[in-house]
Amino acid sequence: GTPAVSGNNIRLTLDANLQKAAEDAIDSQVKILAKSGIYATGASAVAIDPNSGAVLAMVSEPSYDPNRFSKGISTADWNQIINNKNHPMQNCTIASMYPPGSLFKVVTGAAALEAKVMSPTERIFDSGKHWLVDKRNAQGEAFGWIDFYEALEKSDNVYFYEMGRRLGIDKLSQMAREFGLGKPTGIDLAGEADGNVASEEYKKKVFDQDWYLGETMDAAIGQSYTLTTPIQMAMVYSSIANGGFKYQPYLVNRIDKLDGSPLKIYSPKRVGSLPVSKATLDDIHTGLRMVMSKDGTGGMLFHDYPVSIAGKSGTAETNGLDNGWFVAYAPFDKPEIVVLCMFEHSGFGADSAAPVVKEIMDAYFHFGKYAKSAASKDSGTGGKS
């Protein structure tokens, strides 16, 4: 055989401490859920620097030990990997597609506020279901008179059904595409999925059927035919966090020759900006900040968080138990990090995915059990600024 030759060294954008915290958080959450009889078929987490698109942590579960491959893998080990119905060789973060659920409401909000079909302070009456089509809130809630900010805070479906109704599916799908949905983010990894944006032409092409108002309402809350990858949704929230800029996420900082000199240096790649005014973005920020207040859907874990934080919980219907999403960015005034977690078939995102997001945030800001390691930290990323 040919003798092995050392290759060039690659330096990743990953923060080793954050990566370990993310892996541990997902592992422990999988075990916690299993104790209550919930067996997640998969989970993923990703942390992004919203000001560059650099990936600080990325985890996909179930996974496998790549070291087994380096010496020639045994048939038993190989069969264990390929026969696992939860596909451990698939990187869920970039290759698994899910309905985004309520995480999509920021897209609906951006489209409706930009099109001026609704103002953020306009109140509509939520009786628990929409008055034109019998579509309801999760768990039969009814919030009464409610404006845009409260609708985000409580993740109220009825309000967003109405936004979708006034907006129409065409403007909604156009805005989803502007946010980067329905096409790969371009991350430097193989196997990224496109996702899909719900639209009239998609339904016509695939099912040869007409579009109904009820489907526009479903699409407005991240259901219908819309499918997204966790990396796509992390980038949606990155561009909200950073004031409307779209970056291509990347994992490799530089490639070094054997003598240590750089062969190639990668820098952030801006791929566009959102067609959304600062006023609209500010309205969305306000709502996402309220999500983390005592009364918000993320309030249980985050209402007294030591740095100001904003985010969104999401629960998306699938076959079987719902998928749970949670995303957050902090510090609120000048975001440095966006963290997203997705748990398959694990119920409400605020219960399943939020604890993982909190752990990763704690590790980044050195809170809680991560506080003691702050002094010895030398990787130079993260930390309070």
All structural domains of the chain with their residue ranges:
9-71+85-374
In this prediction, residue 78 carries a pLDDT of 47
pLDDT score for 4? 74
Q: What percent of the chain has pLDDT over 90?
A: 71
Residue 103: count other Cβ atoms within 10 Å of its Cβ: 30
Q: For residue 379, what pLDDT is reported?
A: 46
DSSP helix/strand/coil, 375: coil
pLDDT tens digit string along 232-259?
999 999 999 999 999 999 999 999 998 8
Distance of CA 163 to the CA centre of its chain: 22
Q: What are φ and ψ of residue 17, in 5° steps? A: -65, -45
Per-residue tokens: 279: 């006023």
d(CA 351, CA 47): 19
Task: Please give the Cα distance from 8 to 209 (Å, whole number).
Answer: 53
pLDDT attached to residue 207: 94
CA distance 284 to 107: 10
- Residue 171 C-alpha from the chain's centroid: 22
CA 204/CA 210 separation, integer angstroms: 6
pTM (two decimals): 0.89
> 119-146 in b/e burial notation, b at 16+ Cβ within 10 A?
ebeeebebeebbeebebbbbeeeebeeb
CB 235 within 8 A of CB 247: yes
pLDDT one-digit tens code per residue, 346-362: 777 778 899 999 999 99
Residues of the chain with pLDDT under 70: 63-90, 319-320, 372-385
Buried/exposed code over 257-275 (b: 16+ C-beta within 10 A; e: otherwise): eeeeeeeeebeeeeeeebe
Which pLDDT value is given to residue 42? 85
- Within 8 A by CB and 6+ apart from 53, the residues are 235, 238, 247, 248, 249, 250, 268, 269
Task: Report the relative pairing of strands 337-343 and 269-273 from DSSP bridges.
Answer: unpaired
β-bridge partners, 57: 47
CB distance 234 to 338 below 8 Å: yes
Give the model's pLDDT for residue 7. 80
State both tokens at 38.
């919930």
Helices (H) and strands (E) in the chain, counts: 15, 12
- Domain at 9-71+85-374: CATH code: 3.40.710.10
pLDDT value, residue 181: 98
Report the distance separating Cα 296 and Cα 155, nearest Å: 8
